[in-house]
Amino acid sequence: MFMDLAQMTERLSQIWQRLPQQGIGRALGALLIIYIVYMLAKATWLMFPDPQVVAIKSSASDINQSASTRFDTSAFKKLNLFGVKVAKPDNQQVREIEEESAPETRLNLTLTGLVASDDPAVAAAIIESQGKQETYGIDDKIEGTRAILKRVKLDRVIIETAGRLETLMLDGFEYTTTVPAATKVTAPKTTPSTPNRRTLTNTQTQANQSKIRERVAQLKADLKDNPAKFTDYIKVAPLRERGQIKGYRLSPGKDREFFSDVGLKPGDIALRINGNDLTDMRQAQQALIELRQSAQLSLVVERGGEIHDISLDLQN
């Protein structure tokens, strides 16, 4: 065993002597330098503590506040560098503007009466065409023309002809681009110097009571469907004095017998219906609307300078 150890030692000694001694010395020196540098660096980092990382919380309000502090854009917005946004009018507003600016029609038509309402089922106009007076509702075609009734206003109606809107003024009113307020004129009053006021009823027609009941029932039914149907029984035409409405001249409608049976005479001037002053356009329209539900028709007329009260029971 000792023999083997001696031989091994001798063998290693021989191998060592064969190696380049100068190269090995340089390699060991380089390794020693690297080790020394590593130990010095480690000792240096141990002298300084590790830095602490602090989490910073930010909110949207802080960011917004910071942004607004840095740059205020309000001054630039006020300059309207990209123009001003204009709200687009809706179809209803456009339609109203078109109606207000609609030119006066050149058609040979006369508007003798109307019922102004936003409800198409109530609005109606009494228009005379080719010498014939008829009552028209919204979207009705006016006889003898291609015009269609589109809107009923306070002192005019709007008709449509070949896609073009036109204005037909109430008889006696001048065309304007605005709707004026209703003009009220006081109806003639009974004074000591005027003839006595007379009250007329249908007692003078008692022999024809059954016939009158029939016609009144038909009148009542027609008025429920369309208040302006009143003119199918009694035609009206505005009567003016000094540019103001004094009343409405009455004449027979389609049923001439009905006109006389209820106590009316051609040429009577209607002043009031159920207390509504017909010289006030708004009250006149309201009177026609109320007739649909009224049980009594009270008509004040002027005849030959005298004031007459005519009453008609619409219920019985």
The 10s digit of each residue's pLDDT in 134-147 is 888 899 999 999 99
Q: Of residues 315 and 190, which shows the higher confidence score?
A: 315
Q: Using CA atoms in the order 102, 105, 110, 111, what is the torsion angle rounded to 10 degrees?
A: -10
Task: Please tell me whether residues 150 and 221 are part of one structural domain.
Answer: no
Q: Is the pLDDT of residue 56 over 70?
A: no
Mean pLDDT throughout 131-135? 84
pLDDT of residue 295: 73
On whether residue 187 sits in a domain, the answer given is no
3-class DSSP state for residue 233?
helix
On whether residue 84 sits in a domain, the answer given is no
Q: Of residues 19 and 28, which shows the higher confidence score?
A: 28
- Ramachandran quadrant class, 301 (left: phi over 0; alpha: psi -120 to 50; beta: rest): beta
Task: Please tell me whether residues 212 and 288 are part of one structural domain.
Answer: yes
Q: Which residue has the tokens 């990209």?
A: 82
Distance, in Å, from the CA atom of 228 to the CA atom of 234, rounded to the nearest integer, reads 10
Question: Are 302 and 247 in contact, with CB atoms under 8 Å apart?
Answer: yes
pLDDT of residue 316: 57
Task: Please tell me whether residues 205 and 164 are part of one structural domain.
Answer: no
Choice among 113-127, 155-169, 216-230 with the minimum mean pLDDT = 216-230
Task: Please tell me whether residues 205 and 295 are part of one structural domain.
Answer: yes
On whether residue 180 sits in a domain, the answer given is no
Q: Of residues 189 and 50, which shows the higher confidence score?
A: 50
Number of residues assigned to the chain: 316
pLDDT of residue 85: 60
On whether residue 287 sits in a domain, the answer given is yes
Task: Please tell me whether residues 204 and 164 are part of one structural domain.
Answer: no
Backbone angles phi, psi at 42, to 5 degrees: -65, -40
Q: Tell me which residue range forms the domain holding 247.
A: 198-313
Q: Which of 169, 187, 221 is the last residue of a domain?
A: 169
Task: Please tell me whether residues 233 and 308 are part of one structural domain.
Answer: yes
Task: Please tell me whether residues 309 and 236 are part of one structural domain.
Answer: yes
Task: Please tell me whether residues 165 and 210 are part of one structural domain.
Answer: no
Task: Please tell me whether residues 160 and 242 are part of one structural domain.
Answer: no
On whether residue 307 sits in a domain, the answer given is yes
On whether residue 29 sits in a domain, the answer given is no
Q: Of residues 20 and 32, which shows the higher confidence score?
A: 32
Task: Please tell me whether residues 308 and 203 are part of one structural domain.
Answer: yes
On whether residue 143 sits in a domain, the answer given is yes
Choice among 108-117, 137-146, 268-277 with the minimum mean pLDDT = 108-117
Q: Model confidence at 149, in pLDDT bands (50, 70, 90)?
A: very high
pLDDT of residue 143: 92
Question: Are 119 and 130 in contact, with CB atoms under 8 Å apart?
Answer: no
Task: Please tell me whether residues 309 and 203 are part of one structural domain.
Answer: yes
Identify the CATH number of the domain in which residue 224 sits.
Answer: 2.30.42.10
Identify the CATH number of the domain in which residue 113 sits.
Answer: 2.30.30.830
On whether residue 46 sits in a domain, the answer given is no
Q: Model confidence at 31, in pLDDT bands (50, 70, 90)?
A: confident
Q: Model confidence at 208, in pLDDT bands (50, 70, 90)?
A: low
pLDDT of residue 142: 94
Task: Please tell me whether residues 223 and 291 are part of one structural domain.
Answer: yes
pLDDT in tens, 229-255: 666 777 878 888 877 778 888 888 777
How many folded domains does the chain comprise? 2
